[in-house]
């Protein structure tokens, strides 16, 4: 029997104790909340498992005992590589209770080439030092040659082998220091060059506490999420934050969500969830690919905050989701935005509760000169959406190319500080040193601040500079991706050298189903015309067959990789007529 959680004077108290660790906070929550709902796991459109706090913590202690029996020792890294499954939650927590560091790894889907998966895993193992691989029998059979590497020990988790073990006694739970690393998160990428972000107990709990305050979290809240748990938004916002406060987690299988995005709304309606985090593309998917006739009445009546994060926030997407869900009870000003990254545990900024993200129409001509001037009427403009204001314990500064702070409204590199900063990239001091300047973390993102609001415009390394003019590839891709004949959203913009003029040129690779030469010529003209519409010369257009563009494991189209591949394989990539 799982009871509804209710107002509790102990809410969040364990988080603020001086020597708090994940284990101590979870133990306090289990004792405080007992039969209250901890996790509701959904798959195939239905609840497949519900954990009370008592049951979840008890099973986590069984996992910890099982791991100790296997030989897992404090400080080792345990990679968790399993399909979305309700066994994940006690397994993850059990690794922490045993004193080891969990690292959630993306389960390979059938589209991922086996060699890319091998490269990625081998890179992770070599760079981060994966001591254990906790996985299922199916994956072990598929990759036994790789997983059986002498440096990695395998433990199969199918059928929950820990269920025959006693719970690890409280006295044997690993006693960690708050500054010990408690988990390892890997940045996206499939190249094997992923860096392991090491986070301490203190960083995770400080972040939960301060971010919880920023979103006014309370005992009546619950989180609904389909986000994969190898990503910081899923792992921190939708898993660690609710675990730290003891509010329910409603977790959907990501594979289910992507074929039936409306399932998220069903789960929100059924569980009366109040908080949700989504990347921008999910806004569009829900707005466009969920039939209104299949959304439960008042599905969003309980929802008080949907936060857009991890992708540039588009005002059109925010409006579309708002318009879609308002008839189903979504209240005004319940969509916000956040700027976040794994290296700062998660969030740096958040839209203040009860307000809508600030949107500015910024002159494209001014952007090209590095200044975010509000456009005059009729002037070509870019809608810039604020990611909100800096949360407690964090700082933001905008700097120029020399690392000097610039005035509000000036576009520059975004650097941040946080009390929840990571412990560095594991086993990679050189990479860690490269991302700091005067104790500020260099995010690699570009944007500006105005009236204490942070506007993120894109990634610095992808910036295209043509004759001194800054062009953000997101802008080009957004426009080209909507050209008739281009597979929607499947365009990548990158810079090509113009040796003769000594500057860059704009190139795009687009996916198209068009096959005849005449059609491709016409499409090329349409793409080029879009560029001239906002004064961006598109000099090179590469046509590729659908599904040619490479995505990283986080689902983002890689500009660098796709640009290099387009230039190298051009003859092979054109979708030829037959």
Partner 1 sequence: MEDDLIDGQLSRTILDALNLKAFPLRKGTKSFEVPGWDSLSHVTVIMAVEDAYNVRFSTGDIVALQSVGDLERLLDRSKA
Residues that bind partner 1 (CB under 8 A): 44-45, 109-111, 253, 255-256, 258-261, 263, 281, 285, 289, 291, 487, 511, 513, 515, 545-547, 575
Q: Are 381 and 364 in contact (CB under 8 A)?
A: yes
Query: Considering just the CA atoms, what is the radius of gyration of the chain in Å?
Result: 24
How far apart are the C-alpha atoms of 566 and 315, rounded to whole Å?
Answer: 31
Strands (E) in 123-180, as ranges, are 132-135, 153-156
Distance CA 131, CA 147 (A): 11
Closest to partner 1 by CB, 206 vs 477, is: 477
SS3 (DSSP) at 219 = coil
N-terminal to C-terminal alpha carbon distance within the chain: 64
For 84, list phi and psi in degrees, rounded to 5. Answer: -55, 120
To partner 1, the closest distance from the beta carbon of 5 in angstroms equals 28
Smallest separation, CB 427 to partner 1 (Å) = 33
Distance in angstroms (rounded) separating the CA atoms of residues 361 and 53: 47
153 versus 256: smaller Cβ distance to partner 1:
256
Residue 502: exposed, middle, or buried by beta-carbon count in 10 A (0-12, 13-18, 19+)?
exposed
For residues 308 and 416, give the distance between their C-alpha atoms in angstroms, rounded to a whole number.
19
The distance of closest approach from Cβ of residue 44 to partner 1 in the complex, given in angstroms and rounded to an integer, is: 4
Q: Kindly state the helix (H) or strand (E) to which residue 540 belongs, with its residue range.
A: strand 538-544
Q: Which of 494, 537, 490 lies closest to 514 in space, CA to CA?
A: 490
User: Which is closer to partner 1, CB of 33 or CB of 527?
Assistant: 527
Question: What minimum distance in Å lies between the beta carbon of 406 and partner 1?
Answer: 38
Distance CA 348, CA 416 (A): 8
* DSSP states along 259-325: H-THHHHHHHHHHT--EEEE-HHHHHHHHHHS-GGGSPTTTTSS--EEEE-SS---HHHHHHHHHHH
CB of 578 to partner 1, least distance (A): 9
For partner 1, the closer of residues 403 and 485 by Cβ is 485
Using the minimum distance from each CB to partner 1, give the nearer residue, 253 or 445: 253
Supply the DSSP symbol for 558.
Answer: P
Q: Backbone phi, then psi, for 24, in 5-degree steps?
A: -70, -35
Q: How far is the CB of 360 from partner 1 (least distance, A)?
A: 29
3-class secondary structure, 119: helix
- Separation between Cα atoms, residue 219 and residue 9, nearest integer Å: 9
Residue-wise DSSP of 205-225: HHHHHHHHHHTT--TT--EEE
Half-sphere exposure of 240 (CA within 13 A, CB side): 34
- Nearest CB to partner 1, comparing residues 271 and 511: 511
- Cβ-based neighbours of 484, under 8 Å, separated by 6 or more: 526
Nearest distance from C-beta of residue 515 to partner 1, angstroms: 7
Helices (H), 41-113: 53-70, 88-97
> Least distance from C-beta 545 to partner 1, angstroms?
5
Q: Of the two residues 33 and 267, which places its CB atom closer to partner 1 in the complex?
A: 267
User: Which of 293, 376 has the CB closer to partner 1?
Assistant: 293
Query: 433 is written with which tokens?
Result: 């040193």
Q: How far is the CB of 260 from partner 1 (least distance, A)?
A: 5
User: Residue 496 or residue 545: which is nearer to partner 1 going by CB?
Assistant: 545
Closer CB to partner 1, residue 294 or residue 408? 294
Residue 462 gets the label, from left (phi > 0), alpha (psi -120 to 50) or beta, of: alpha
Is the Cβ of residue 327 or residue 546 nearer to partner 1 in the bound state? 546
Q: How far is the CB of 291 from partner 1 (least distance, A)?
A: 7
Calculate ∠ Cα 101-105-109, nearest 5°: 165
CB of 108 to partner 1, least distance (A): 12
Show the DSSP H helices in 422-541 as ranges. 429-434, 473-480, 517-533
Q: Which is nearer to partner 1, 106 or 208 (CB)?
A: 106
Residue of 274, 199, 282 whose CA lies nearest to 242: 274
Nearer to partner 1, 109 or 525 (CB): 109
Q: Of 415 and 511, which CB lies nearer to partner 1 in the complex structure? A: 511
**Under a CB-based contact definition with an 8 Å cutoff, are residues 14 and 28 in contact?**
yes
In whole angstroms, the minimum distance from the beta carbon of 42 to partner 1 comes to 10
CA distance 288 to 48: 28
- Closest CB 270 distance from partner 1, rounded Å: 14
Cβ of residue 392: shortest distance to partner 1, in angstroms? 36
């Amino acid at each position: 029997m799982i009871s509804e959680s209710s107002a509790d004077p102990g809410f969040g108290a364990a988080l603020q104790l001086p020597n708090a660790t994940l284990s101590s906070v979870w133990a306090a929550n289990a004792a405080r909340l007992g039969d209250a709902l901890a996790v509701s796991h959904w798959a195939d459109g239905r609840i497949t498992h519900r954990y009370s706090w008592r049951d979840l913590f008890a099973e986590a202690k069984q996992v910890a005992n099982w791991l100790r029996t296997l030989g897992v020792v404090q400080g080792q890294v345990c990679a968790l590589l399993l399909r979305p499954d309700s066994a994940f939650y006690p397994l993850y927590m059990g690794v922490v209770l045993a004193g080891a560091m969990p690292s959630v790894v993306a389960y390979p889907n059938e589209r991922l080439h086996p060699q890319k998966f091998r490269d990625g895993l081998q890179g992770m193992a070599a760079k981060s030092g994966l001591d254990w691989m906790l996985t299922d029998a199916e994956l072990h059979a598929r990759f036994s040659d790789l997983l059986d590497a002498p440096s990695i020990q395998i433990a199969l988790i199918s059928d929950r082998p820990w269920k025959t073990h006693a719970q690890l006694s409280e006295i044997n739970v690993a006693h960690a220091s708050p500054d010990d690393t408690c988990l390892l998160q890997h940045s996206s990428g499939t190249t094997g060059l992923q860096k392991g972000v090491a986070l301490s107990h203190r960083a995770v709990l400080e972040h939960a506490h301060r971010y919880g305050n920023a979103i006014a979290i309370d005992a009546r809240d619950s989180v609904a999420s389909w986000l994969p748990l190898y990503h910081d938004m899923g792992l921190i916002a939708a898993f660690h934050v609710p675990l730290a406060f003891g509010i329910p987690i409603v977790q959907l299988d990501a594979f289910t969500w992507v074929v039936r995005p409306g399932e998220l709304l069903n789960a929100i309606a059924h569980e009366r969830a109040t908080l949700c985090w989504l990347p921008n593309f999910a806004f569009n998917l829900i707005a466009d690919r969920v039939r209104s006739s299949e959304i439960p009445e008042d599905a969003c009546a309980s929802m008080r905050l949907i936060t857009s994060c991890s992708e540039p926030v588009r005002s059109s997407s925010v409006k579309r989701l708002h318009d879609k869900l308002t008839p189903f009870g979504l209240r005004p000003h319940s969509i916000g935005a956040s700027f976040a990254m794994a290296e700062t545990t998660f969030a740096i900024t958040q839209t203040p509760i009860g307000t809508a993200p600030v949107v500015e129409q910024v002159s494209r001509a001014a952007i090209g000169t590095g200044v975010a001037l509000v456009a005059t009427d009729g002037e070509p403009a870019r809608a810039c959406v604020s990611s909100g204001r800096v949360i407690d314990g964090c700082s933001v500064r905008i700097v120029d190319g020399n690392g000097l702070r610039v005035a509000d409204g000036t576009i520059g590199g975004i650097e941040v500080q946080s009390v929840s900063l990571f412990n560095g990239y594991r086993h990679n001091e050189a990479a860690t040193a490269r991302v700091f300047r005067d104790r500020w973390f260099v995010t690699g993102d570009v944007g500006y601040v105005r009236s204490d609001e942070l506007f993120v415009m894109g990634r610095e390394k992808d910036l295209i500079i043509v004759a001194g003019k800054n062009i953000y590839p997101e802008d080009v891709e957004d426009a080209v991706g909507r050209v008739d004949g281009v597979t929607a959203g499947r365009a990548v913009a990158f810079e090509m050298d113009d040796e003769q003029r000594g500057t860059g040129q704009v190139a795009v690779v687009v996916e198209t189903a068009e096959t005849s030469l005449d059609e491709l010529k016409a499409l090329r003209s349409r793409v080029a015309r879009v560029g001239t519409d906002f004064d961006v010369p598109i000099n090179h257009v590469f046509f590729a067959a659908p599904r040619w563009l490479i995505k990283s494991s986080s689902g983002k189209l890689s500009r660098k990789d796709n640009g290099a591949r387009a230039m190298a394989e051009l003859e092979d990539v054109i979708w030829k007529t037959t």
